[in-house]
Structure 1
Amino acid sequence: MAKTGVDAVARALAILKAFNSDRAAMSLTEIADATDLYKSTVLRLAATLEAEGFLVRGADRLFRPGQELWRLGALYQRSLDLGDVVRPCLRRLVDATGETASFYIADGNERICLYRLNSPRSVRHHLEEGQRLPIDRGAAGRVLVAFGNGDDPDSRAIRARGFHLSAGERDPEVAAAAVPVIDVHGKLRGALSVSSIRTRFDEQAIRIAIEALMAEAKALSGFLPPAEG
């Protein structure tokens, strides 16, 4: 009996997890295909999930996530600290690139290194959390300006690319790549950056850094706690 109950819970969760940004609404057949469950099983479990508010079924007969998932998601986000979601991203960036990874926010004419994880290499770009740097120089600063209220030609070009590379803009020995972190409401929350000794930041290193930064920024955007104010 216990095993049957556990199996039912696992199948119900599989149904909920089948929904994503590309599959926000699904028919009974589509859910069955996505979960490898029989239609009869899906129908039985979906009825329970619908009754409890975890699914809704519209007049078009398509299932969609219900209001209970929104409520639980909001509770989860309110319980998060920004560092809880940013620090794992920085760890993955350091693992992928071998370089220093940072998260910056804008503060007037400066940018603040809110979180960072330094490179394990002995020769590296070393940063401290809380360090303030000019916002008009360096990859992260330029990204914060461009995706903030920047309307100059350089900012428009950065927005079109989706990232910025810098080499010696602030420190002649440092190169960096940065991307914006934009939450699900379209609000700029900061910039993710990978910084390196300039001579080590060759074409291959840049490609790896940009790919990793974009992947992490995209993943991070959906997990950010609500912005204050």
Structure 2
Amino acid sequence: MTTSTRPKTSMEGVASAGRALTLLSAFRKGDDAVTLAELAARTGLVKPTIMRLAVTLEEHGYLIRLPEGSYRLGAEPFRLGSVYQQSFRVEAHVMPALEKLVAATSESASFYVRSGQQRLCLFRVDSPHPLRLHVRQGDMRPMDDSATAQVLRIFENPSSPKAAKTPLPIYSSGATDPHIASMSVPVFGPGENFAGALSLTGPVTRFNRDAAEKATKTLLNVAADLTRSLGGALLHNPGQP
């Protein structure tokens, strides 16, 4: 499920395909229609190149060109996103796990995967408290020093020495936002493949280290149950007996 940097092979990619993907990746959450000038600014591609790429992408349902000349995403990316989620049977397993975490801790629970140099909130259940970090499913967050980002970096290679030596859960405070603390553990799928990061977040005034320590057993148990339900194998955690 993770998107990671793959080792370079002797076979080179197709430049035009790379430019087309760059163009698609320029669309951001909340965009309705994006002008040609804005797409050029976001991608660094020249306008004639964008227009040629857009013709092909429109033919295949990835883009729609509006009468005034701006562009918006077509239905094909949505279809692929649905296929992505359904193919891993993740939602049916993850959402109950998140709901269980929120019920037990009263903090927000999320499931993240890595998307290039960012992390994607794939699923989320909010805390019942009005004071909480407002993140929605589909939001991108930075690959910073937060607990979630650390889990995504360390465990994308579960067999690495660092993964084997990292105590769990990982806790961070103020990494992405000075007012927010988070705690995260890895979840695995079939064949010990890394599936994503299961995280709890809350305001630092409430979700301090003492509160995180109290929630540790619950988070580890829910992550273990989720790993088993996804067909994964549990890894030894040096931070626990």
Change (3 A) 1:85 1:171: same
Whether the 8 Å CA contact 1:177–1:209 is kept in 2: the answer is no
Cα distance in 1 between the residues matched to 2:164 and 2:203? 22
Does residue 148 in structure 1 map to residue 119 in structure 2?
no
Structure 1: give runs of 5+ residues left out of the alignment.
1-77
Deviations 1:109-132 (A, max 9, x none): 111000000101111122100000
Q: 1:82-93 alignment to 2 at 5 Å?
A: 82-93=90-101
Cα distance in 2 for residues equivalent to 1:150 and 1:167: 24
Matches within 5 A, 1:52-67: none
Give the Cα separation in 2 of the matches to 1:122 and 1:101.
15
Number of the residue aligned with 2:102: 94
Partner of 2:146: 138
Q: Could you state the TM-score of these two structures normalised by the residue count of structure 2?
A: 0.56
Contact 1:101 1:194 in 2 (8 A): yes
Q: 2:229 aligns with which of 220, 223, 228?
A: 223
Matches within 5 A, 1:1-150: 81-149=89-157
Partner of 2:198: 192
Question: What is the SS of the residue equivalent to 1:209?
Answer: helix
User: 1:37: which partner in 2?
Assistant: none
Compared CA separation, residues 151 and 173, structure 1 to 2 (3 A): farther
CA distance in 2, matches of 1:187, 1:222: 12
The partner residue of 1:202 within 204, 208, 225 is 208
Distance 1:129 1:210 in 2: 24
Structure with greater Cα Rg: 1
Q: Give SS of 2:229's match.
A: coil
| Distance of 2:184 and 2:164 partners within structure 1 | 10
> Structure 2 regions of 5+ residues with no counterpart?
1-85, 233-241
Distance 2:163 2:214 in 1: 21
In structure 2, which of residues 210, 217, 234 is the aligned counterpart of residue 211 of structure 1?
217
- For residues 107 and 91 of structure 1, the distance between their equivalents in structure 2, rounded to whole angstroms, comes to 24
Q: State the Cα distance separating 1:148 from its structure 2 match.
A: 1.4
Q: Contact conserved, 2:181 with 2:208, CA < 8 A, in 1? A: no
- Root-mean-square deviation (CA, aligned residues, Å) is 2.6
Q: Conserved in 2, the CA contact under 8 Å of 1:136 and 1:145?
A: no
Q: Aligned partner of 1:166: which letter? A: S
Identity %, equivalent residues: 35
Is 2:182 the partner of 1:173? Answer: no
SS at match of 1:125: coil
**Structure 1 counterpart of 2:116, one-letter code:** G
- Paired letter, 2:103: D
Q: Which amino acid aligns with 2:149?
A: G
Question: How does the TM-score come out when normalised to structure 1?
Answer: 0.58
Secondary structure of 2:130's match? coil
Query: Would you tell me which structure has more helix in proportion to its own residues?
Result: 1
Q: Do 2:144 and 2:176's aligned partners in 1 also have CA atoms closer than 8 Å? A: no
